[in-house]
A and B are shown apart, each in its own frame.
Chain A
């Protein structure tokens, strides 16, 4: 499937890294890269390197999380100390705690956990190298890992951000664009139905600009979704 966005006014402009306004960064996804995990995926987009792994469904040994009628998910987003320019101190901080929470909430709607009462699915996202857009990359990778683990799901959730840089609405912000830009709109969807499972906005946008950013991010998600499916096919072909 090829997605073409016809907007002649914007498509001629180039960004700092040579991309068109509605172009995503080079993307690579590989499923099943870890031996021990029940499911795993490796994702590279631009300068980001992300590993996601899934364990479960397994008995919920954390009693306060246990639910008698359904399974639950637990998600942890973690950055390697060497993943950023200035070494990040190991361990959770406020940012990664928030991202862990919204990631779990972005993935949860796709999973049929009602089939696994009293159990828990662990999703671990490790950012090996960060270059803008790690939360979306994490969600995209985690969903492939969940599928690789054979967790029943309605759809593979996919994440992508749009934003505003130099007054233009652009797709898939790089680290530089994220820092220098005026707005960042990370989004995750279930592409089959178009349901939106994650949405944040950080910055200033007019109503029209937001409208445009939303549509652009959805188109970005759909492109990435194809790469996700390819990764799974490659893993289980042959």
Chain B
């Protein structure tokens, strides 16, 4: 019988700990497939964050580091400077990257560090039990914003891709989503592009992927996908913000 689909070699056979309906699994698979298809797996070092994807080092089938909270871009910098010929990526959530790790991500981008960052934004702290993240939407209820996030109290949600796109060293910045098959395919294309930028030595690359957290959002998985589309995408517009040779691209142009 002809093989029509098989699990990517980029993932190990470990059963993941992710909640039912969580989209981390899809994003893991996309990163792994791209690394396998680009024949980079054997020459890649990944960095796992602190947060829901803390155990990613057990899932990706390549050399891995587990970093302290928010420090993945600094750890990846150390690795890349020692092994400039290898592919280095960091996989980070929004608490990790957009809150405690803002200095590290900004300066890795600013140095044009030749690493790829996969930034998974689900607008909440998942691992610790659904607390408010810097990316939590206005009005969104979390365990530390039980009455809904208020702008006057907690400020507006932070748009990381737009912020990093102002930095010259950030060669490739794109925001995608995984709420339907079409967006999953676009995410894979963006991840491939990001790794290609690194392969060519062009500079820093990041793909921000809008993701769901059915458990802490308190809704069934399908409803969570719909909530993402209806609420997150209007505030976090999808699109390519920076690409090689293009100084600044607005999301609308993509």
The answer to whether A and B come from one shared complex is no
